[in-house]
Chains A and B, each alone.
Chain A
């Protein structure tokens, strides 16, 4: 599987490179390193969320509440910043991560203990979380002038040539890659999604594994919540509205199987970057935003077709029981 997944990642990387080259034919400045770094930075929130979503999808679930979790956490840390402007940012980030994790745990518990289908659970909590933002903010915006300068500056702060926002994404990528390939929890995510029945017989607790997937997705959404409101210096009920669909799209393009059990951190990142390149490049070369949507949609369908074709052969080979080699 690894070899085959890698090859898919290679294909996706090649597609992204092709896209960048095509764009640079009409707009050479696009491939300037500074601009590419800018695209990466701009795509960082999507990458972080896509990694969380990937883990959830691996376990045969889906998390539609990521954008709402992001927005609620963003609002809470913004209000907190108004109330206590001198709170150290490390604490703010810890609060964002923890609050996101708790919101993810709510999803996870409902899926685990009550056996409600994940799509229903997260559709419900998505609406609830948005509603809570309205309640705690009275529907008002938190604007740039209300936020403390340090609060707003953090994601833009440049460290070793890159803004901290990019560093956050890089750190999440590295940690997630280690968790997914080098820990028992990561192995459990793959096993549970690949064959839940077999996982039960192997002694894995399927529900609990899914619970942890939702918790991680929530925590990453919480982190992104802070990064988002501080970067755009605004928080209101509808921030990142509909963004959960971009996140799921990034996963699908990145070769994460919606049926569970197949996917990688690399895939999620590349899927996010693919969307990021389209979003950043098309306006520059004067292609209407409607084409952007059409191109993203086409990419999703092509990715799904490639996935289903790639996933077919194993099903056939199982039936070759009469082979003398068996």
Chain B
């Protein structure tokens, strides 16, 4: 059914040769290789954090590699910025399309390279006509004069693809393009991918869905922890082998040894439902326990936690804390009932950098350190001193602005802030995302300590070693539902990936 790659198509159009990319404290890519051929779809596969998005950003000129070469048709090139990447015919269609809502479809397609008329002004008529030609070519039933905001997400994808065609792209990167599409729209997208293939474009297809990888990809490349693991033709590999390549690693991280003393039930969530984000969420949590929440990004884990914390409101469902039914309408309610949430995006959602350390630490506990709305500074300082000392936070003074601290110390301030509320349940959302190995170990150590003190910990994590190393129990979520609950002895990397990706189940 698929056209066999012709002899001419065997020479690579774009390749990465031993490309390395480092961020402070983190090696995002370590000498990876990747080769794309014209008329073929290459699926890029890897866990969250394997380095896929870094590759996309390097190929589109947003990041510069720290080492290695980028070859276009065998010649080394520098992709200094997005324009340079576009000039080499490389274009990306992102998860959330990067287009302009207020402009028309034609303007979106031709932004930056619109046909010019007299006096260098944009020739609108020609632009609309050319846009219509391209849209007809991909059989997209879209009027080029429509404003983009009036289109569905699927149609926006088509516009993004039309834009790719308009700059005569030779390499099209699709970063989880089907994530937000309906079943019918997905099939239309597959047809389009076939058309692009037939035109000899090289396609890099990033996806977590194994069924679609096996349906449309010709080749695969697997990354793990920023390293290249292997590649080849898709017909030479099975799902099981791909999963093995994604997760099979030597366990080189050491996790704190724990002998959990699991106590009484502290939290019970019954029948949580949200119209769009999750459904039928039931779980319990006990004192002294670390409960892992694993799933792919976008599986609805953080959304459940945010509902539990009163940021969003579930449509249905109830929460029991220490056996009492509690209604949580706002984060203030959650804190009052002993639930705290350390969010994933600690920069945006964590510390208030302009305020001094002590004010950050006491912010959620002000009801305890104030009387009739008046602050009692001595109480505040005592509380802040106590909890920052417990976390071994070193700063010249508690009056130092948090913005002047290092990243690790800022994190300590955020954690001290939550511990100072004396919670029963602490929810840690991706607690070690984007921090270096040393700090990771410290966070794990600390988590174990919290559980040992009788706190119930929920750890939302996308890192398999962390989930396996830290949790007493794991709940796996997929597409907004709980698909598995695994005890300590049932957890293996393979089961986690299989359940999270929905392999071996009928949908």
Which of A192-200, A225-233, A242-250 participates in binding chain B?
A: A192-200
Q: Determine the distance from Cα of A194 to Cα of B377 in the docked complex, in whole angstroms.
A: 20
On whether the beta carbons of B24 and A322 are closer than 8 Å, the reply is yes
Q: Contacts A198-B348, A205-B332 hold; do A320 and B407 have CB atoms under 8 A apart?
A: yes
Indicate with 1 or 0, residue by residue over B373-408, a CB within 8 angstroms of chain A CB atoms. 111010000000000000000100001010111111
On whether the beta carbons of B406 and A321 are closer than 8 Å, the reply is yes
In the complex, whether A182 has a CB less than 8 A from a CB of chain B is yes
Which of A83-91, A105-113, A158-166, A311-319 participates in binding chain B?
A: A311-319
Question: Within the complex, which residue of B25, B353, B409 is in contact with A322, where a contact is CB–CB below 8 Å?
Answer: B25
Q: Contacts A190-B355, A318-B407, A326-B409 hold; do A184 and B373 have CB atoms under 8 A apart?
A: yes
In the complex, whether B288 has a CB less than 8 A from a CB of chain A is no
Q: Determine the distance from Cα of A195 to Cα of B335 in the docked complex, in whole angstroms.
A: 19
Q: Contacts A201-B311, A202-B331, A322-B24 hold; do A317 and B355 have CB atoms under 8 A apart?
A: no
On whether the beta carbons of A326 and B375 are closer than 8 Å, the reply is no
Which of B34-42, B64-72, B359-367 participates in binding chain A?
A: B359-367
In the complex, whether A1 has a CB less than 8 A from a CB of chain B is yes
Of B354, B359, B408, most A-chain CB atoms within 10 Å: B354
On whether the beta carbons of B406 and A202 are closer than 8 Å, the reply is no
In the complex, whether B490 has a CB less than 8 A from a CB of chain A is no
Q: Contacts A320-B406, A323-B406 hold; do A194 and B334 have CB atoms under 8 A apart?
A: no
On whether the beta carbons of B24 and A183 are closer than 8 Å, the reply is no
Question: Shortest distance in angstroms between B436's beta carbon and chain A's nearest beta carbon?
Answer: 7
Q: Which residues of B contact A203 (CB under 8 A)?
A: 330-332, 334-336, 364
Q: Determine the distance from Cα of A274 to Cα of B409 in the docked complex, in whole angstroms.
A: 39
In the complex, whether B343 has a CB less than 8 A from a CB of chain A is yes
On whether the beta carbons of A321 and B435 are closer than 8 Å, the reply is yes
On whether the beta carbons of B436 and A198 are closer than 8 Å, the reply is no
In the complex, whether A187 has a CB less than 8 A from a CB of chain B is yes
Q: Determine the distance from Cα of A195 to Cα of B401 in the docked complex, in whole angstroms.
A: 13
Of B332, B367, B403, most A-chain CB atoms within 10 Å: B403
| Chain B interface mostly | mixed
Q: Which residues of B contact A198 (CB under 8 A)?
A: 348-352
A201 nearest in chain B by CB position:
B349
| Chain A interface mostly | helix
Q: Contacts A184-B375, A322-B25 hold; do A191 and B355 have CB atoms under 8 A apart?
A: yes
Question: Within the complex, which residue of A1, A190, A205, A319 is in contact with B330, where a contact is CB–CB below 8 Å?
Answer: A205
On whether the beta carbons of B343 and A201 are closer than 8 Å, the reply is yes
On whether the beta carbons of A261 and B354 are closer than 8 Å, the reply is yes
Interface residues of B in 418-457 (CB under 8 A from A): 434-436, 439
In the complex, whether B272 has a CB less than 8 A from a CB of chain A is no
B397 nearest in chain A by CB position:
A3
Q: Which residues of B contact A181 (CB under 8 A)?
A: 375
In the complex, whether A2 has a CB less than 8 A from a CB of chain B is yes
B335 nearest in chain A by CB position:
A203
Question: Shortest distance in angstroms between A92's beta carbon and chain B's nearest beta carbon?
Answer: 28
Q: Determine the distance from Cα of A185 to Cα of B363 in the docked complex, in whole angstroms.
A: 11
In the complex, whether A325 has a CB less than 8 A from a CB of chain B is yes
Q: Which residues of B contact A320 (CB under 8 A)?
A: 24, 406-407
On whether the beta carbons of B403 and A317 are closer than 8 Å, the reply is yes
On whether the beta carbons of B407 and A1 are closer than 8 Å, the reply is no
Q: Determine the distance from Cα of A321 to Cα of B439 in the docked complex, in whole angstroms.
A: 10
Q: Determine the distance from Cα of A323 to Cα of B405 in the docked complex, in whole angstroms.
A: 11
In the complex, whether A62 has a CB less than 8 A from a CB of chain B is no
10 tightest CB-CB pairs across the interface, nearest first? Answer: A314-B403, A326-B408, A203-B332, A321-B407, A322-B24, A322-B25, A194-B352, A1-B401, A326-B406, A195-B352
* New A-B contacts (7) at CB < 8 Å, excluding given A203-B336, A261-B354: A1-B354, A182-B375, A191-B352, A261-B352, A314-B401, A319-B24, A326-B409
List 28 interface pairs A-B (beta carbons < 8 Å), by A numbering: A1-B354, A1-B399, A2-B356, A182-B374, A182-B377, A183-B375, A184-B374, A185-B373, A190-B352, A194-B353, A195-B348, A195-B354, A197-B348, A201-B350, A203-B330, A203-B336, A261-B354, A314-B354, A314-B401, A315-B403, A318-B403, A319-B407, A321-B407, A321-B408, A321-B435, A322-B25, A325-B394, A326-B406
